[in-house]
A = this chain, B = another copy of it.
Amino acid sequence: MKAPRDGQIFEAALLRDFACALLQAGGFTEDQARQTADVLVWANLRGVDSHGVLRIPRYIEMVELGLINPAGIPRDEFSRGSIAVSSAQRAPGAVAMVFAARKALSLANDHGIGWCSMQGISHAGAIGYYAEQIAKVGHVAIVMTASKPLMAYHGSKVEGVSTNPIAIAAPTLDPDRPLLLDMSTASVALGKIMAAKDAGKSIPLGWGVDRDGNDTTDPAKVAAVLPMAGPKGSGLSLMIEVLTSVLASNPLISVALSSGSDPGANGVAVALDPKAFRNQSFAADVSAVSDAIKTLPVAADTDKIFLPGERGFDEADRRRVKGITVTAGTLSKLSALASTLGVSMPGAFRHSAG
């Protein structure tokens, strides 16, 4: 089957089933495939297509390379007080991080706070997903992941730290709309630089440096993405590496910089129980500050003020109705994979308008 030039639109549930079928055909167990497909399509629904189903061919390749174990089950290595250190056992990243979020919740029930360090994950996808899971049961979430150098450290001309993301979530009175901050420590997503390059457009200063370490407006010359807010972004990324990797005895940056090899990734999920703070009206209090922010007077060039995560929730509401556009490039890779693995393509809503 050949994908049309302009992509296709799919219902979220059908795309999720298709993703699940592809992953199962590629070696994932049914549970692993369902959890992973859910994380991927969650990102597609929220408009973060870079973390959606386009990742599937690489995930299946990782199974073939032995980087993901289709039978791997994450396990607790040890636990003390609020803390558990677990290892991913090469289970898919989504499976490992769902395990970490559940473990953090369980520890928080006993100790007020739960902190699960998950060693050796593969790609975790959009980490806001795991933070949202924790917020959905009324707890506050902090989720971080760490990986190899992907971004310039402030003052250096080469990649020295990762774009390590952090997500922080808190429940509101609307169970479908927690506050959900999910940010990388980079100035911009690498995909935006790639898109400018493909489109032959220049990029603003502050996005990337050339091979001499000079800030550049030419996307073709970008040797390393710059951190968000200069030293703050690279400093925060380094401290996330300390909290996520070094503390759990699986350092990545020092290993990658000295050996040049890819040391994999780690994750942390933290849950805080508002009841341990004797806060009986926490979700209402979070809604109160959210409402206060939403009703601030808007700036001249702005239509609407967005709470952390709100753009994603709005987009998901739209895409649940109108469907998810899979671009022609992604679709052709997925249909080739489907053909190889003997998985049938889902029916499309209609051809995308562009």
Contacts and interface: CB of A to CB of B under 8 A. Distances in A.
A115 interface: yes
Contact of A247 (B277, B297, B304): B277
A72 interface: no
Decide if the interface of chain A is mainly helix, strand, loop or mixed: mixed
B278 A155 contact: no
Nearest to A213: B299
Interface string A288-301: 11011100111111
Interface in A228-243: 228-229, 231-233, 235-236, 238-239, 241-243
A258 interface: yes
A302 B248 CA distance: 33
A267 interface: no
Interface string A143-185: 0000000001111111011000000101000000001010100
Nearest to A274: B247
Interface of A: 78, 80-83, 85, 110-113, 115, 117, 140, 152-158, 160-161, 168, 170, 179, 181, 183, 187, 209, 212-214, 228-229, 231-233, 235-236, 238-239, 241-243, 246-249, 251, 253-254, 257-258, 272, 274, 276-279, 282, 285-286, 288-289, 291-293, 296-302, 304-308
